Structure 1
């Protein structure tokens, strides 16, 4: 007989665990305390629901606390205020990791949000009655609904290419990037067509011996600044995919790239002379089908992230194509579960809106049970 992730509840095929012995009981569990999770917590507080926020970070800040130090606030695109509290006018020359972490911390304290950290949620599974069981290694929560806001930072995507294991240089993902100093006098191949790839490539080019930029598709730059209409069109494309049960597309594939003054300068300097993807990796570099080779000391995989949803596997949500069928933020196969920061709500402004709409649905979902509880009270 298998045990649950916490070691407390037996897992029998087809038999939901009895959660009467759970360590905690509440209406809603919010998993993750980034932009989406804090937005949801704000609206849960306003709705008067009992809830707990479970965050695996050691401090406030969500994924922002892990951003590389040279990413100053002035280089960040698309950061929006949390509901009910403006970011204000911070120093744009400070690292975004510091500014946003401080802001999130102020928000948590201002609204007295019940954030518990560090908590690594290992599993969410159906339980007895109308409950779901949320399990960490040490504790369990019996809940009526889950708002999952775990984002993507914990699941960096590493493509696989022939010869990758034989490369004698260094390979790292953009999630491991801490600054350009590590690349001084190195021959660097940067793989990826997103904003992070471009920002890091420009920084590295200033100190590296040589840089090569490689992408699967030719990058598409837009001359005009990012607008709400541009954002809405991108969100609509992603929403259509997740409603059909398909995996959400990458942000760059639906939004394109902004041709900022920094990008224009890099183009003029030849830093953004993009090459198509190589077909294999050699011991000392990369190789293309036409026989071209480039030597490399470092390969930086700026290849994005995937949604961190492994803890939801016991709910069996995946469609045959690998996606999760959604209706707004609600999972069609499990209406007690909402995914925030997934698909169309992956942007910071989308996360705020998603938090509000998800809590409205949760209130309707819980209303009958709360009415029955009230009727039983003397």
Structure 2
């Protein structure tokens, strides 16, 4: 399966297992979603369990919070992460606080799915990476898969979780990981069909990072599309470094964060590079750098490096310069390894 198929399979599996699982959002019903992630679900489960909503993000999330409080498990889709901002009040003031405010009498088991990130020529209003905003909100979990297998398992775990979860789907790799140059437009890439994904139920627990590639020279922390960018870059630049033994860690969930895996890796390698697509200031990489410094200071052999998007509004015409790629990642690695 590719990631779209895996996400669709996760919702299908959970709707079959639990009649309280509801899918809702703009065009998710008959049309099957703008990226086809919900294709076929309405035909299979009916219009009362998979239904279209008006174009009102605050209404979508507000209704989902109410549904969750009364025992349902809604999976609302926000068509693009850029459109989620009108719903912030419902997410921050209602969903995130409901269990605490009611002393556990009510919960908010909603899973908000949304495509995020650039790379599909979507322009300023279809390409943002706002994950850092949600990691700051106590009471909300933030999940970002990088593979079809993880996408299905993490989505199932999110739907089963009793707390609200923001499930960001990196649309640049919706149709499979790509090989070649990650600093060039998509038309130059060769698409990969995806990965092995079990057809039935399984879960990938939240809060568990994955070691994509073990190594001893440097720890690279990344998530989503950047996992593939980093892996491709290490393959490309390895000969230039005389062989680069980098440990690549896919965080998978930002909240809860697998800080134990990060700490163990950095203490082993002594060096840390953080890569994410979102803008630099206030990005989640700043939190990662602080945590590494607090826990691994006496093991560090070089200052922590970050490679991120730039502090600009999303630059539609220059998005391929905006994305972290081999040139900027290579420059950061040279600084880390110069000693």
Taking structure 2 as the reference length, the TM-score comes to 0.26
Which structure has more relative contact order (CA 8 Å, sep 6+)? It is 1
Larger Rg: 1
> Greater helix percent: which structure?
2
Taking structure 1 as the reference length, the TM-score comes to 0.24
